[in-house]
Amino acid sequence: MIPGKFQKQPAEKFFFGAQFSNVIDTDNEAIDLSLSTIAAVDSTGVADTSVYVAGSLAVVADTILAVRVQAGVESKSPYKLTYLVTTTLGNKYEKDVLMEIIDA
């Protein structure tokens, strides 16, 4: 599966989320924010926590795990953001999204 992808400039700072509506049954479970995480690596595979605000994780519309993205360097782009969701039923899901930095 090819991960989703979006572009941003280094100075931009905004929320971006991964959608889990295809796997979460909102009638029976919800995203457990306290057990869900995000991780980021640059194009060389090195972990980089500077491209998101760790304490900003949020659940949107019951099926989206979002985080405030920020900064980034074009030469280390694209960054792979890995959203790891755990639900109230203990189910675990993972989604990767590529964040490309365009300094134009």
Write down the domain spans for the chain: 4-101
pTM of the model: 0.94
Q: Give percent helix, percent strand, percent coil of the chain, each to the nearest 5.
A: 10, 45, 45
Task: Say how many C-beta atoms besides its own lie within 10 A of residue 64's C-beta.
Answer: 19
The DSSP code sequence of 21-75 is: TTT--TTT--B-GGG-EEEEE-TTS-B-GGGB-GGG-EEETTTEEEEEE----GG
Task: Say how many C-beta atoms besides its own lie within 10 A of residue 82's C-beta.
Answer: 15
pLDDT at 82 over 70: yes
Q: What mean pLDDT value characterizes the chain?
A: 96
Q: Which CATH class is domain 4-101?
A: mainly beta
